[in-house]
Structure 1
């Protein structure tokens, strides 16, 4: 990395007294410190998604049992109501699982970048993923969506700043492809976990629609 970038990547212990005083008035944290903070905030959001997903899974089990009991009691109309509610719950559950898996990949990428550098090139796809997840969660978990928006802004500023320091750009098309790949992998994992966690709805119960991939 260029010397100027390295100085901003890790705090230089040889700062003058003037620089130390100046930074107390106008603080500017080094890139690596801001990246570490973003990793922590991302972990917090992922854990919130995980907690919400676990609560949904429990509600799904309860609703599924009600659906089965209604069907066994020949209460078809009631069973249909429960089944359709399960479909809607599972749409949200899959979205949360997909978001959780995507953020896990983002975390791993951020940790790799933090430890080995290459911010401008490797961080850009992550920004796209965070932006996509933020938009998808806005109507489901608005607080998480908002926090992801602020994290995304921080990461985007890091990409721009790192590019200014190193003089390196990045291929926008390649970045978009990488972001799409990360989201596709997260979706595939989410689909598999949905099959493992949520039993098939009773075959005899008609529903408006089944859970589909977003």
Structure 2
């Protein structure tokens, strides 16, 4: 069994170090980091926009302007929905980037590639309605990763356990979602209670 494991690792290294696979991992990582930068900028802009609208909402509530306060509160709520999607996507893709960096340093291609490809595919779909340009770029990253999964599998003659890979991908997504919820609470204050029109009439 030990010899068999060594043989698998040897085949991985043979497939990895002649550069085609390594270069493609580096290219995918570069593209991924570009999109992470875009997500970070978008998250900052959303937070700034929310802060501005939040201030206006508070002022409208203090002035008992029900119509304006409701409008600003609704806009804040929509921004926060999108901000959470962006933040969760950013956190999950950061984990993908770490995995790819591990691949570059240690050549652990076989175990790392399938779950990260699955995560990128999920995030790409998630961002379609929020940031279509980023989603399109992630489609290219996902295509590269899926191809690498196939190529490494052929080079090493190793089969992948889809259930384990799926569990690993889901764990990354779940952890990103939990952290995103925590960060949302830290970055976005609770909206003030907005009086209804009926309450104002009374």
Same fold, TM exceeding 0.5? yes
- Aligned partner (choices 35, 44, 47) of residue 57 of structure 1: 47
Q: Distance in 2 between matches of 1:8 and 1:170?
A: 16
Q: Distance in 1 between matches of 2:9 and 2:160?
A: 17
Q: Is the 8 A contact 2:69 2:194 kept in 1?
A: no
After superposing the two structures, state which structure 1 stretch, 78-87 or 109-118, moved more: 109-118
Partner of 2:13: 6
Using the TM superposition, give the Cα deviation of residue 161 of structure 1 relative to its aligned residue in structure 2, in angstroms: 0.4
After superposing the two structures, state which structure 1 stretch, 118-127 or 156-165, moved more: 118-127
Larger fraction in helix: 2
Q: Is the 8 A contact 1:67 1:79 kept in 2?
A: yes
Partner of 2:124: 134
* Alignment map for 1:26-65 (pairs within 5 Å): 30-65=20-55
Two-structure CA RMSD over aligned residues (Å): 1.4
Unaligned runs of 5+ in 1: 12-28, 207-214
- Aligned partner (choices 146, 149, 153) of residue 139 of structure 2: 149
Partner of 2:76: 86
- Aligned partner (choices 70, 88, 106) of residue 98 of structure 1: 88
Using the TM superposition, give the Cα deviation of residue 120 of structure 1 relative to its aligned residue in structure 2, in angstroms: 2.4
Partner SS, residue 74 of structure 1: coil
Distance 1:174 1:205, change over 3 A: farther
Distance 1:199 1:2, change over 3 A: closer
Q: Distance in 1 between matches of 2:110 and 2:12?
A: 11
Runs of 4+ in 1 over 6 A off after TM superposition: none
Q: Distance in 1 between matches of 2:80 and 2:67?
A: 20
Q: Note the alpha carbon deviations across 1:28-61, whole angstroms, 9 max, x for none.
A: x611111011111111100100000100100000
Q: Is the 8 A contact 1:32 1:114 kept in 2?
A: yes
Q: Distance in 1 between matches of 2:83 and 2:166?
A: 26
The answer to whether structure 1 residue 112 and structure 2 residue 119 are counterparts is no
* Number of residues of Structure 1 aligned to a counterpart in Structure 2: 189
Using the TM superposition, give the Cα deviation of residue 203 of structure 1 relative to its aligned residue in structure 2, in angstroms: 2.6
Q: Distance in 2 between matches of 1:154 and 1:127?
A: 9
The answer to whether structure 1 residue 73 and structure 2 residue 73 are counterparts is no
Q: Distance in 2 between matches of 1:119 and 1:10?
A: 11
Q: Distance in 2 between matches of 1:113 and 1:205?
A: 55
Partner of 1:200: 190
